[in-house]
Amino acid sequence: MSALDPTTPSVPQRAGWAWRPYALTLPALLLLVAVIGYPLLTIVLRSLSEPQWGPQNYVWFFGAPVNLTVLQRTFTISAWVTVVCVLCAYPYAYLMTAVGPRARLVLVLCVLIPFWVSGVVRTLSWVILLQDSGVINSLLRSAGFDGVRLIRTQTGVVIGMAQVLLPFMILPLYSVMKGIDLRLVQAARSLGARPSRAFFTVYLPLSLPGVYAGAIIVFILALGFYITPALLGGPRSTMLSTLVQTQVLSLLQWGRGGAMGVVLLVTTFVLLALAAPVMRSRHREAGRR
């Protein structure tokens, strides 16, 4: 790979053409500034200036118990979704590394099939599955059990969100597990470790970079989820995104909605910034074999 080889001779550059790469990125950057940068700036400004200049919208947000409950619930639901994803993805990704190529293809297809239909249709499927007259409840009833209430509950929201986000956990986990040298586990076994001990002291630590990477992606995506909680959830499982939408579209409170949006945005970026160095150093460790 020449890109990694510092001695590769490059195409002779004419003097004065050093700006050319920057010119190539310019159209994309302009669009980025116009359609992402300017709108986000507008939201920040509105959160500070409507109805008048000052931090009143933030004071309101952090002063109202209702908002804090929703903020806390957003974190709780995201955390549950992350936990469910890690627990389900770990054995699945491991099996992907352990089986032959044909079975692996089937397993990969199962991960990718959810992407084949549009996200909204998938949420509709969850409505069909979870509703009181839905698939799960009719199966339970035909097996002689009582029906359970799933739709418009927090459990239902977690089940639906975790299914949507599971591929984002499985794929990074698989790419890390694929690179683990299984001879290290054999070495531990030959030195007398029981299989469970070999797993917990050798395999698990080596797979953690994948867990971190996947968990961070899932948690951050879950924080900003809007469609699934809106369709599967009820008033007692409202997440921050729905609250932002209500403030802006129904109440026309751009200042308050903007302040909530900024809180969500800042949380996301702080989490990313916190996670970036951890993930980078773990990756380096895993790469050093």
Partner 1 sequence: MEMKPLTRVILGLVCLLVAIWLVAPTLVVVPMSFNENKSLAFPPQGFSWQWYQNFATNPEWSTSFLNSLKVASLVAVLATVLGTLAAFGLDRMKARPANLLRMLMLTPMVVPGVVLAIGIYAVYLDAQLVGTLTGFVLAHTILALPFVLIAVSANLEVFDRRLETAAASLGAGALTTFRTVTLPLILPGILSGLLFAFATSFDEIVVSLFITNPYLKTLPVQIFSSITRDADPTVAAVGTILLCATTILIGGGMLLLGRERKGRL
* Interacting residues with partner 1 between 218 and 247 (CB under 8 A): 220, 223-224, 226-227, 231, 241, 244-245
Residue of the chain from 199, 234, 282, 283 that contacts partner 1 (CB under 8 A) = 199
7 binds partner 1 (CB under 8 A): no
CA distance 50 to 263: 16
Question: Binding to partner 1 (CB under 8 A): which residues in 78-97?
Answer: 88-89, 91-92, 94-95
> According to the binding rule CB under 8 A, does residue 20 interact with partner 1?
yes
Near partner 1 by CB under 8 A: residue from 6, 16, 27, 235: 27
What is the SS3 assignment for 10? Answer: coil
- Write out the binding residues for partner 1, residues 117-136 only, by CB under 8 A: 117-129, 131, 133-135
CB contact at 8 A, 218 and 165: yes
Of the pair 68, 120, the CB lying nearest partner 1 is at 120
Name the one range near partner 1 by CB under 8 A: 58-66, 112-120, 206-214, 277-285.
Answer: 112-120
Site for partner 1 in 35-54 (CB under 8 A): 35-36, 38-40, 42-43, 46
User: Which residue's CB is nearer to partner 1, number 167 or number 214?
Assistant: 167
Helices (H), 33-153: 38-49, 56-63, 65-98, 101-112, 119-130, 135-142
Member of 6, 15, 24, 146 binding partner 1 (CB under 8 A): 24
Give the integer Cα–Cα distance in Å for 69 and 92: 34
Residue whose C-alpha is closest to residue 168's, from 113, 215, 110? 215
User: Is 218 within 8 Å of 82 (Cβ atoms)?
Assistant: yes
User: CB of 258 within 8 A of CB of 46?
Assistant: yes
Q: For partner 1, what does the binding mask look like between residues 153 and 192, x meaning CB under 8 A?
A: ----------x--xx--------------x--x---x---
Q: Could you tell me which of 229, 236, 114 has the C-alpha nearest to residue 160? A: 229
The string over 57-70, giving b where at least 16 C-beta atoms fall within 10 Å of a residue's C-beta and e elsewhere, is bbeebeeeeebeeb
